[in-house]
Amino acid sequence: MVALTTPHEPLPPKVRGHAESGFGDAVASFAKLVTRGRGGGALVVRLRGETVLDLCTGWSDRAHTRPWEPETLALSFSTTKGVASTVVHRLAERGELGYDEPVATYWPEFGAGGKERVTIRDLLTHRAGLANVRAIADRPADLLDHLKMEERLAARSVRAPTERSAYHAITYGWLVAGLTRRVTGGRGLAELVRTEVAEPLGVDGLHIGVNETARELVAQPVGSALRRLGSASRVVTPVLTGVKPARAFHNALIAPGFHELFEGSEPSIWGTEMPAVNGALSADALARLYGALANGGADAGARLLSEETVRDLGRVHVRGADVVLGMRMRWRLGYHHAFGTGSRAPKAFGHYGYGGSGGWADPDLGLSLGFVTNRIGSMTTPMADLTLYRLSRVVHECATRHLFVR
């Protein structure tokens, strides 16, 4: 962490950490949005290689015995997709795969069922035609067998690639894992995230699943939203599947018994590789990852990707109303536009997740943000909730003023 020489902003009660002068509005927004209710969270912001905000608050367990610390990890749902996608870019940069090559070039079984023309670029922009998780999983135990999920996705017969994106909410991670496993001679994404992203950046807070070293740092999810979703699915399923526009949303996002994977003191979701869902991430590690993507591929002297690669992956490749999400999306290669940053940040991109966690980079400012929380509120969406959107807006405004007055 870079030492700051400018005066720090005072922190309100319950908020720990530090904030560089000029980011008081972001501190106030964090305190207002994250200290209320149960649970906790952390926010880290980096600007041109310097940490300007490093805040945490609340509790990482339901019993309120473990305060949230900077190294606390949170299960971050779809925020994991951005981490997994970065592995693909590392392999592409070394020439081990090509974005416009068919996936089946590296994963021959994937060419079954009419998918032989699906390219890696199609996969990274959610046009592989495989968003439907219910087509490959009948029960919660299926979701825990990541190798079986890869095999079933490869064997599916679908019409693909599709012209419009259809958010692969749960299946995306297994598709990326299946591809990278074949390219790297059998290495799983839990290992690849460590060796291709975490170690080059020199960070500890990027994990797929929860290993022995991480389990003491993982925050327990707080809130009943997942359980209510599971209970309601018996009623919701026939309603949504009976309405054509809602069917794609249901089939991509409501996996059978999904909520059961998060129950207990050591939930079963910990022990699998679900690289679209079960990233155990820290705010600092996310800010470091996106700090590299915001600054030509390097952060704090650690080179992750080349400037040329970063320019290409930050370019919008597919835009339009997503079939699953029902909202207009601007898909980069494995990332979406950074919601909440406003029209003054047209190049900002990253990935957000259910429950509220997320990370993003703005190459125009050299700015990155990492936010994690264990609070799953009733108003969350597949792309986070208003807490992250509001924090992103205020952080971007503070950073813009900060650079201007300098």
Catalytic site positions:
78
Q: Which two tokens stand for residue 34?
A: 């994250």
Among candidate residues 81, 60, 83, 37, the one with its CA nearest the CA of residue 218? 60
Neighbours of 359 (CB within 10 A): 31
